[in-house]
Structure 1
Amino acid sequence: MKQTQAYLMESNEEAFRLELKTDVEAVRKQALWCGVKAGLRVLDLGCGPGKTTEILHSMVSPAGSVVGADYSAERIAYAQEHHGGKPGIEFVQCDLTKPIEGLGLFDVIWVRFVLEYFRKESPEIVKRLRTLLKPGGYLCLIDLDNNCLGHYEMPEPMNTLLPKLMSCIDEEFNFDTYAGRKLYSYLYDQNYENIQVELMAHHLIYGEARQSDVFNWLKKLEIGTGKMHSFFKEYPGGAETFLEDFRKFFLNPRRFTYTPLILCKGMRPYDEGVS
């Protein structure tokens, strides 16, 4: 299936990056807050390589089931190979910017780290998901806010350039650096009931960084700078020097890095029935 736009983080190592950075206990904590429990039918929308889908599956088993959906044929193939083949877990390819049909209804729809890649389409995506949710079911939206910008003490001129870089990426790749703060309004505007909001730390890095965090952050910057190479013509030494400067900054145990994670959930009203 042809995707509607280029995925900002696409690379040969993307499945590995996504698997490596997924914190099992953090996912379980977030899923418990969202109401995921044994016996439910859950949709993991934007499932990527499937690790999160498998975590959700472990929480709804044995009577429940999970469907992982993603637009990337490569990611779905990886998910089926590494996390599929068990009763109650299924992976399907779909384009979430279009109506999704044939999957039935779900008790919980889990949309984590997805809407940040669809700045323009997010309100319509949320609107269409309503038809996949059982009355009384919950739509759970989870995303980062102030993405990639929570660093101290970043030296100049890197400190000046990074916000401009993220703004440029937003415009060029339909990314949303501030996706998290918008999630509540998406549910409010669609008249969901019992809307709840939670704030957690996604990245909270100080002292010696874990190797998984080092790989994740440097890989993100490597891919981003590669796709925005001309943007760095005014940075002393260009993109390569920017990457090296960030690496030195990030490996310094004095560095402090954080990224807020915003979780929102809302219930589809019982009185709507199923259309």
Structure 2
Amino acid sequence: MKTRTAYLMESDQEARRLDLKTDRERLEEQARWAGLQPGMRVIDVGCGSGKTSSFLHRMVHPGGEVLGIDASPERVAHARSHYGVAGLGFACRDFYDPLLDLGQFDFVWVRFVLEYHRREAARIVENLMSILAPGGILCLIDLDHNCLNHYGMPPRLESALTAIMGQLETHGNFDPYMGRKLYSFLYDLGCQKIDVRLSAHHLIIGELNDVDAFNWLRKVEVAVKNSGYGFPEYAGGFQEFTQEFQAFFSDPRRFTYTPLIACRGSRPK
């Protein structure tokens, strides 16, 4: 498999962004739906800050264990210092590489990861299938139409945002439509008992809360700024685009949503 593309959201505040936007109640509900149970051996792929791994770890007690892996040494260090406890470990590993030395897992969790690896996503899932125990569960969760569902945007802002997402697809290896592809990945690998669920991830109306404000501003300040887009709609370039986006997004009349697609399947015994 080819060398990975640089992480689109890389910044010195990424661990904080990931921690803030991870909602325990929603995550645990998704994991229960996928079939997570006490006693399972779990791998959290692309674990980021480690907060998700910590929530999964609480759910596999008694007798279970969780390993979080991430290619970022900085975020693995953050995860170890903030969440490392008995039965919950973290390792700096690249899921583009073979992982067989880690052993087999009863539950493989891949949430908000594949969207950053558009060209390699299917091969990443195939690699992860190799560490799934027979009868184990592979759970893939991602967004669809990511960052593109807004109502009330000024026309030039909507035009620019659509073009930026296209730029990120072509040059940033980002896939705003990853969610709709997850089922096919499991189907093509011969998974059994495949199930799919569609729900809303972002549903933002009224006054903007601090977490959504920080999360979306970081998306603009990091991913959009580094997209390479030229902002021909704006005489003031990126700065003027950012000002207009902030004004729109802070308006309580704004309506924003993002579909979330969760897929689960079992490896044949």
TM (norm. structure 2) is: 0.97
1:16 aligned partner = 16
1:154 aligned partner = 153
Measure, in 2, the Cα distance between the counterparts of 1:181 and 1:225: 23
Aligned partners of 2:200 and 2:257 also within 8 Å: yes
2:248 aligned partner = 249
Runs of 4+ residues deviating >4 angstroms: none
Amino acid at match of 2:133: K
Alignment root-mean-square deviation, CA: 1.1
**Range 42-51 or range 95-104, more displaced:** 95-104
1:203 aligned partner = 202
The DSSP-based 3-state class of the residue aligned with 2:4 is coil
User: 1:165: how far off?
Assistant: 0.6
**Range 92-101 or range 10-19, more displaced:** 92-101
The DSSP-based 3-state class of the residue aligned with 1:232 is coil
TM (norm. structure 1) is: 0.95
User: 1:229: how far off?
Assistant: 5.1
Measure, in 2, the Cα distance between the counterparts of 1:239 and 1:8: 17
Amino acid at match of 1:54: S
User: 1:62: how far off?
Assistant: 2.4
2:29 aligned partner = 29
Amino acid at match of 2:138: L
User: 1:163: how far off?
Assistant: 1.0
Question: What is the CA deviation profile of residues 49-88 of structure 1, one whole-angstrom value per residue up to 9, with x for unaligned ones?
Answer: 100000000000121000000011111000000000x111
User: 1:38: how far off?
Assistant: 1.0
1:234–1:252 Cα change, 3 Å: closer
Measure, in 1, the Cα distance between the counterparts of 2:140 and 2:101: 22
The DSSP-based 3-state class of the residue aligned with 1:265 is strand
Measure, in 2, the Cα distance between the counterparts of 1:37 and 1:245: 46
Aligned partners of 1:233 and 1:239 also within 8 Å: no
1:179 aligned partner = 178
The DSSP-based 3-state class of the residue aligned with 2:100 is coil
Measure, in 2, the Cα distance between the counterparts of 1:183 and 1:174: 17
User: 1:225: how far off?
Assistant: 2.8
The DSSP-based 3-state class of the residue aligned with 2:30 is helix
Measure, in 2, the Cα distance between the counterparts of 1:129 and 1:230: 34
Measure, in 1, the Cα distance between the counterparts of 2:113 and 2:92: 15
User: 1:10: how far off?
Assistant: 0.3
Structure 2 residues not aligned, in runs of 5+: none
1:114–1:30 Cα change, 3 Å: same
1:144 aligned partner = 143
Aligned partners of 1:229 and 1:239 also within 8 Å: no
Question: What is the CA deviation profile of residues 178-224 of structure 1, one whole-angstrom value per residue up to 9, with x for unaligned ones?
Answer: 00000000011111011000011110010012110001001101112
1:118 aligned partner = 117
Measure, in 2, the Cα distance between the counterparts of 1:56 and 1:50: 10
1:123–1:230 Cα change, 3 Å: closer
2:163 aligned partner = 164
Measure, in 2, the Cα distance between the counterparts of 1:231 and 1:76: 34
1:239 aligned partner = 238
The DSSP-based 3-state class of the residue aligned with 1:208 is coil
Amino acid at match of 2:159: T
The DSSP-based 3-state class of the residue aligned with 1:109 is strand
The DSSP-based 3-state class of the residue aligned with 1:231 is coil
Measure, in 2, the Cα distance between the counterparts of 1:177 and 1:193: 27
The aligned length equals 267
Amino acid at match of 2:203: L
Measure, in 2, the Cα distance between the counterparts of 1:43 and 1:106: 7
2:82 aligned partner = 82
Aligned partners of 2:167 and 2:229 also within 8 Å: no
The DSSP-based 3-state class of the residue aligned with 2:63 is coil
Amino acid at match of 1:215: F
The DSSP-based 3-state class of the residue aligned with 1:146 is coil
Identity %, equivalent residues = 52
Amino acid at match of 1:19: D
